[in-house]
Amino acid sequence: MTRPTVARLSVVLAVVCVCTLTVGAVVPATVGAGDSVTIFFLEPSEGNADAGETVTLEFVVSSHGNYVGEGIDQLSATIAYDPDVFSVADVDHGPMLAAGDSNATVDGTVEIDDEAGLATIDQERTPSGDGAKTTDTAATITLEVAEDASSTNETVELTDGSAMDISEYSQAVFERDATITIDGTDGGIDPVAGFAVPSALLAVGAVLLFAVRRLD
């Protein structure tokens, strides 16, 4: 194999790698909703708020049950946020765990620690029945933005996610966070800042493609 051919192949492989990284940075990974997997995510995944305003996020849970068709009857998760920017104004439990049974209710508790920036949600379905197998809101979280908040992009994280089916087996949990752009008291931030990494990857890919053409 000649040196130009080797060089060309090396550049092509680099382009493939960069394009793969770019797609991963631009398009959030979608996890298949297979058996024994529960997905936790916050909606909207991207939002905006001014200093002193409130922002509302839906904590959505998606579960298709286990391998034998049993749904989940218990779940918990912690919402983590920057306590210098946010405080929890309200948390309302949603209907997700009660899905499929008009007689089922959601018994839930919320523990809020605004100093640490944590809100922990625990829920149980009563009666368990066949469990819940659906995609729906498990809780609605209202966050208040500090009056003196500076302009920034803030991540609201889902952590310590847990889901258990009616046979008391834990399901694999995948979590997806949300990003809130704060228009603060210092006049705002560059709206394209969040695209710096994807843009850089695309630029590198363009340079590599140009190099491939020069080798031809």
Residue 124 pairs with which residues in a beta bridge? 74, 107
pLDDT tens digits, one per residue of 75-112? 999 999 999 999 999 999 999 999 999 999 999 999 99
Q: Any idea where the domains of the chain sit in the sequence?
A: 1-30+189-216, 32-185
Is CATH 2.60.40.680 what the domain over 32-185 is classified as, yes or no?
yes
Q: Which two tokens stand for residue 24?
A: 């991963």
Cα atoms found within 13 Å of the Cα of residue 23, Cβ hemisphere only:
7
Residues of the chain with pLDDT under 50: 3, 5-7, 9-34, 190-204, 206-213
pLDDT value at residue 94 = 98
pLDDT value at residue 185 = 77
